Every structure is written in structure tokens, then in C-alpha cells.
Amino acid sequence: MHVPDGFINAPVSAIAGVGAAAAIAVSLRGARRELDEKTAPLAGLVAAFIFAVQMLNFPVAAGTSGHLLGGALAAILVGPYTGVLCVSVVLLMQGILFADGGLTALGVNITDMAIVTTVVAYTVFRGLVKVLPRRRSSITAATFVAALLSVPAAALAFTAIYAAGGTTDVPLGKVLTAMVGVHILIGIGEAAITALTVGAVIAVRPDLVHGARGLHAPLKLRVGGELVDAPAPEPVPAAARSTHKVRATFIVAALLLAGFFSFYASASPDGLEKVAHDKGIDTQEKKHATEDSPLAGYSVKDIGNDRVATGLAGMIGVAVTVGVGSGIFWAVRRRKGSAADATPTAVPQTEKV
């Protein structure tokens, strides 16, 4: 899915680049808080891991094989900020060294593969972990769903960027159905592998899994003398954490819904369209006939207005999601930081959003 140069026009690439740079700046701050001075070596090694694991081939069927994309895996293993950084660095190095993905398309690639995947995966994951019972199996299940959704979400983000600044005139509906259709399949594989991998890490070193930190907190029972000692440290970070975490999670979830899933919802008839299209595939007229009807939003004939309209909607969706979402993350974290300074009992390093 590495977008080459010339696929997305210059202005939209520039906007995506600015958005990606802002998100990376936010992630740099966040990662420093997640890992403090260990950030560089640890994030670097995790990036190397993501890079290596992308080369690990998983056999699918009949000689074909697939590999991990790694956004969801990174988010759940090392946290969203570090995850964004790791995947972005992998993409940056792939772009500069291996010419995989264009240099001008770097912003587009980082936005959809590093930021959208990671943020969607982590948001879904956190939401599910809150709801599900505190067990290892629920971490695995949440990982599965998070990874499953993160890949088509990236495809949606790509389609939105394409709608805003695609240089080719492939009808949007087709791009959307092709991208989302293919990426739902890829997402299933990604989900299975990510869930299995996270499960394998949890089985050995649950303390390393960022997403499972809430899980092992109650397990830290010091049964040396009495049980009273154990619950005492536990509620403090939990209470300090929960409100901000829930708030941030919901705000981000709402933004994501507005940005991506509304787009998806309005475009979902295209699934039907695809069926119709498949049925009457030989005649061009049939295609147009179906596209003329209720799905006018993604109609092809008058590319001008519709594409601009959809493009703007998509662009605003992406901008709002990336910009405001990360801005709120940042604001919440800052407030959190000052609150932690004010109250001496709170431990600033332990909070995670």
C-alpha cells in the first residue's frame, strides 16, 4: 500500500505531510512520556522489529503468503505514541533507502499507514478492554478486533485522501470498494496474526505489552505479609487514570466515527453497487445505470462537483481526525501533567492514554 510519487497531487500531499508532521510531533512528546529517556533505543529497536516482522511471511493458501503491516501490533505492544513513531520511522526509512513509497507521498503514507492504523487500533482496543472482563483472553480478543478494523480504516483514509487529491480519474466508488474490500480480507489476516503475536507475548512477558498494563496491575499482589498492601497502590493510578482515559477514548472515538465511519456509512451502498456491477460486468451502461441511482454521491459522470464535495468531506474528516484528535490528546496529557505536579501522590509516569 506504499503510495508512490505522482499518485496524489502536490497540494494534498503537502497537507497530508503537514498533518503527519504534527501528529509525529505530538507522538514524540507522548513517547517521551511513555518511555522517557529510553525512547530512542527502545522505539528504535521496536521499529527494527516492525521492519523485520514485515518480512515474516505467513502462508495463506496455494503458495501465496502475506505479511503483517504492524500498525496495530505496534500500538498494542508499545503504546499508541511510540507505535506511531515506530511505524513512521519504518516508512521514512523505506521511502529514503528502499524507494518504497514516494518521498512526496511520505505524508500520505505516514497519515494512512502509521497514524490512522495505530490510532484506530488503539482506540478500538482500549474501548474493548474497558468493556470486556479483565482477562488475558479479552486482551487477545480486543487485539483481534482492533487489528481487524485498523486495516480497512487505513484503506478508508487512503480513499479519502485519494478523493481529495487523486491524480487519476478512477471512480471513487471503485477505489473505495476495491480498497476496502481487499483490505477487509487483509485485515482478517492481520487480525489473526496480531492477536496470536500479542497472545504469545502476553504468555511470556505480560509486563511488556502496553495494552495489557491495566490487566497485570491487579495481579501485582504483594502477598508477602498481608493483602492490604496490594490494593493500596492500585486504586491511586486507576483513579487518576480512568477519567482522562475514558474521556480521551470517547472523544477520539467520536472524532473517528465522524471522520471515517460516516464516510463509510454514506458510501456503504457501494457494496451493493459492486454486486450489481459484478452481475452486469460486460456492459458499461449497466454500471452507469446503477451508479446513477441513489449513490449519486460517488457518481462518476460529473466528476467535477461530486469529487470536490466528497473530497472536501474526506479531507475535513482526515484533518479533523488527525489534527483535533491529536490536539485533544495533547491537551489532555498536558492538563494531566500539571495536575500530577499539583498533587504529590500521583505518579506521572504511570498514566497511559
Query: In this chain, which of 95, 127, 211, 314 binds another protein, going by CB under 8 A?
Result: 95
* Contact track, another protein, 240-259, x by CB under 8 A: --------------------
Counting contacts by CB under 8 A, is residue 32 touching another protein? Answer: yes
Q: Round to whole Å and give the CA distance between 317 and 303.
A: 20
Counting contacts by CB under 8 A, is residue 46 touching another protein? Answer: yes
The least CB distance from residue 348 to another protein, in Å, is 18
* Beta strands, E only, the chain: 58-59, 65-66
Counting contacts by CB under 8 A, is residue 131 touching another protein? Answer: no
Query: In this chain, which of 117, 148, 184, 192 binds another protein, going by CB under 8 A?
Result: 192
Q: Which is nearer to another protein, 182 or 324 (CB)?
A: 182
Q: Which is nearer to another protein, 234 or 292 (CB)?
A: 292
Residues 6+ apart with CB under 8 A from 283: none
Counting contacts by CB under 8 A, is residue 295 touching another protein? Answer: no
Query: Residue 351 has what DSSP assignment?
Result: -
Q: Which is nearer to another protein, 17 or 233 (CB)?
A: 17
Q: Round to whole Å and give the CA distance between 125 and 51.
A: 23
Counting contacts by CB under 8 A, is residue 296 touching another protein? Answer: no
Question: Helix and strand tally (H, E) in the chain?
Answer: 15, 2
Counting contacts by CB under 8 A, is residue 289 touching another protein? Answer: no
With cell 533507502, the residue in question is 97
Q: Round to whole Å and give the CA distance between 35 and 24.
A: 16
- Looking at 29-37, 238-246, 253-261, 311-319, which segment touches another protein (CB under 8 A)? 29-37
Counting contacts by CB under 8 A, is residue 208 touching another protein? Answer: yes
The least CB distance from residue 224 to another protein, in Å, is 26
Q: Which is nearer to another protein, 88 or 249 (CB)?
A: 88
What is the per-residue DSSP string for 85-145? HHHHHHHHHHHHHS--S-STTHHHHIIIIIIIHHHHHHHHHHHHHHHS-SSHHHHHHHHHH
Query: In this chain, which of 57, 137, 243, 262 binds another protein, going by CB under 8 A?
Result: 57
Counting contacts by CB under 8 A, is residue 89 touching another protein? Answer: yes
Residues 6+ apart with CB under 8 A from 56: 67, 68
The least CB distance from residue 197 to another protein, in Å, is 4
Residues near another protein (CB under 8 A), total: 77
- Looking at 7-15, 251-259, 318-326, 345-353, which segment touches another protein (CB under 8 A)? 7-15
- Taking Cα atoms as reference points, which of 104, 91, 122 lies closest to residue 13? 104
- Looking at 60-68, 154-162, 322-330, 338-346, which segment touches another protein (CB under 8 A)? 60-68
Residues 6+ apart with CB under 8 A from 332: 244, 247, 248, 353
Other C-beta atoms lying within 10 Å of the C-beta of residue 80: 28
- Looking at 102-110, 229-237, 262-270, 318-326, which segment touches another protein (CB under 8 A)? 102-110
